[in-house]
Structure 1
């Protein structure tokens, strides 16, 4: 394609929409800033004050990842009607950057706990308290290191397991630590502030696991690259949500966008071969999978903020787009780039898409080569008179499309791979 892109804006506002100045990082920085103010104004930081600062930040880090809280955040953010200003809706659409609060809360909780560890070590105290303190500090340090973006990307399974088993260990250790710290101060633990805070945290972590179940799944493979999973176990999720799947609930979990069909019970998922886990799933075609928790809102859920939306998808990214295209609640135009769509995804799925998107731009990369997705998105945005663009693709492409469009003044959204 011959590029006819308008130049990107060089304004301060446009620059602040690019990495590293994302809403995710701004939220993390805001949490750190609040904690810095607390550090400067809290007065003497005795163990009791430090423990409360740790628990406060830990509560934020845990609750902001709770499925019910996430769904509430999306419900509040998408309550704005199209009559509101586009700038406001553009900002509200970034609600999926809430993970910045998790990062900020975790970093600050870890920082405060390291300070608490130093204070308790210098002052001395019961051996059990000091051992528990250092154990918590060690687990927190390991979890933070494994969560560093580059290491997390390279060793995601290790990151996930460290967070699961390390997190569970921390719940026990923090409870023991709170009891010992209260005892050292001559105060009761039951009924105290830390008791209720820890109870909230434990409940938040436990809730999804209380809905753990093994459910039947029907898998069809239109090609060796893709599997279409169909579920009907009494749950019909909303468009723009995801479901976590596992073959071993204590090990790996993977989230996929739900594809409910209007007027039909159950839902589908599209899974493409993108690693060992998905490859084994496609090859093995298991009859049952594990699910937990509830359908959880994701980036696609923000389409309702806008009058008209362009969906840009590559490959199996069509899956998260499909429920919105089928429902037709928000007028949409599809731009889909993929290898030989009918051969890869099957005649039925492609026909289903074209039935609701007869004007879709379906770019076959086998015959036409790699497209300029930014230019295709700009063209569709202009021709369809859309207000926003939502991109569902791999990390590199998503960031490229979103940043290029926003640099040209177009609200654009896409996953940020923060978990």
Structure 2
């Protein structure tokens, strides 16, 4: 039997399970608080300001590096199942690491504005002041484009401002560091700024060094779905994702990998959810661009628990499938979708039922929209599960996760922080 962790209705603990008190926001707040403590203790010295900018910039970039992300997940999921459920529940929130990125980026921008103002007031050389204000402007644009409402409505603007703005900043920061060192009568080569920038540039460049155009086989069991098959020498691990593009300089989309035990390559399930996915389903290109390495995602945390319930809607079945096929963690599936066989094909549905004969497959065409929270609660109780993982759209995922967590059930799902 699982431990009873149900908080009292309306209790502080129950309220802290809902937005805005997410682990993502807590991590961002922790970074801001740490910055404030360091600033108070060290004082407003020019070297301190420079160090704060570099430290926060490094955090913001490295925490998004694929190798670092995979390391974080490996460390978090290495915990023994003998550890307390509450401890494993907390470790399962590792995918909220984006809060460190947000905190670092915001603090780096704030401290750089203070640094720029200080250099201007102190009458630094004109080229240094000019470059400083240009950097400050680019940083401000990137932060504004990353605001949740802007990012949701203008995701292409967010993505391109971060990509091209980020590359521009690398050049400008290097120039700024050279000018700042020259103004202080110091050498740039071998300085702290030199090594930090070298690490940051390497981190940004690594995924692009693995950029390649690979063949893909695409089938569409219905106009709503495309099933993509890849076999170009990479067999990713369950719980990972791959970034795809048709134009690598402009647009990237990440999808959960579906490797099958004993087979090379992997599959992806893509639903029609916008212009890019719609064109992919309709055009069926013979090749797509991939970059970097398979990167761990929220599904990876299933290994922290003895038994889990997977709740999926529509093509959210894709990220669940590799875990169901591997059977490493005993699982129960709750899948809500429009006419599953007509939409996804008999082969995929039969493959799922072969490993999940007790699955709850809810056909929304015939049964209407279900109460996923209630279905998850029933499956969690009947299967004696320790946790629930929800793979759905943003609104549904947040609703299911928050409602379950407010009832004391460890629940996990994507947070759309990138």
Is the counterpart of residue 383 in structure 1 residue 391 in structure 2? no
* TM value normalised by structure 1: 0.98
1:226 matched to 2:220? The reply is: no
Alignment match, 1:114: 113
Alpha-carbon distance, 1:45 to partner? 2.1
- Decide whether the 8 Å contact of 1:54 with 1:109 is kept in 2: yes
Q: Does the 8 Å CA contact 1:239/1:258 hold for their aligned counterparts?
A: yes
Aligned pairs for 1:63-102 within 5 A: 63-102=62-101
Q: Secondary structure at the match of 1:253?
A: strand
Distance, in Å, in 2 between the alignment partners of 1:260 and 1:137 is: 44
- The answer to whether residue 40 in structure 2 is matched with residue 37 in structure 1 is no
What do the CA deviations read for 1:285-331 (whole angstroms, capped 9, x no partner)? 00000000000000000000000000000000000000000000000
Determine helix, strand or coil for the equivalent of 1:9. coil
Do the aligned partners of 2:52 and 2:108 also contact (CA within 8 Å) in 1? yes
Shift of 1:8: 7.3
- Report 1:7-406 matches (<5 A): 9-46=9-46, 48-406=47-405
Which string of whole-angstrom CA distances, capped at 9 and with x for unpartnered residues, describes residues 92-150 of structure 1?
00000000000000000000000011011111122211110011000000000000000
Cα distance in 2 between the residues matched to 1:27 and 1:199: 26
CA distance in 2 between partners of 1:232 and 1:348 (Å)? 19
* 1:44-92 alpha-carbon deviations (Å, 9 max, x no partner): 422x321111010000000000000000000000001111000000000
Q: Kindly provide the CA deviation profile for residues 165-184 of structure 1, in whole angstroms up to 9, marking residues without a partner as x.
A: 00000000000000000000
TM-score, structure 2 as length reference: 0.98
Contact map agreement 1:8 1:407 (CA 8 A) in 2: no
1:160-214 superposed Cα distances (whole Å, 9 cap, x missing partner)? 0000000000000000000000000000000111100000000000000000000
- The SS at the match of 2:251 is coil
* Separation in structure 2 between the aligned mates of residue 349 and residue 221 of structure 1, nearest angstrom: 12
SS of equivalent residue, structure 2 residue 124: coil
Bigger Cα displacement from structure 2, 288-297 vs 120-129: 120-129
3-state DSSP class of the match of 1:239? coil
Distance 2:335 2:50 in 1: 51
Mapped to 2, the partners of 1:239 and 1:8 lie a distance apart of 36
Distance 1:89 1:15 in 2: 20
Aligned length, in residue pairs: 413
8 Å contact 2:65–2:204 — kept in the other structure?
A: yes
Which position in structure 1 is the counterpart of 2:3? none
Contact 2:388 2:409 in 1 (8 A): yes
Structure 1 residue 7: Cα displacement: 10
Give every structure 1 segment of 4 or more consecutive aligned residues whose post-TM-superposition deviation is greater than 6 Å.
none
Structure 2 gaps, min length 5: 1-5
After superposition, what is the alpha-carbon deviation per residue over 1:12-38, rounded to whole angstroms, capped at 9, x for unaligned? 122111100100000000000000101
Contact 1:8–1:404 (8 Å) recurs in 2: no
Structure 1: 5+ residue stretches without partners: 1-5
Instruction: State the 1:260 CA deviation.
Output: 0.1
CA distance in 1, matches of 2:86, 2:10: 18
* Higher alpha-carbon deviation: 397-406 or 35-44: 35-44
For 2:407 and 2:362, locate their aligned partners in 1 and report how far apart those are by CA, in whole Å. 23
SS of the residue 1:247 aligns to? strand
Contact 1:245 1:254 in 2 (8 A): yes
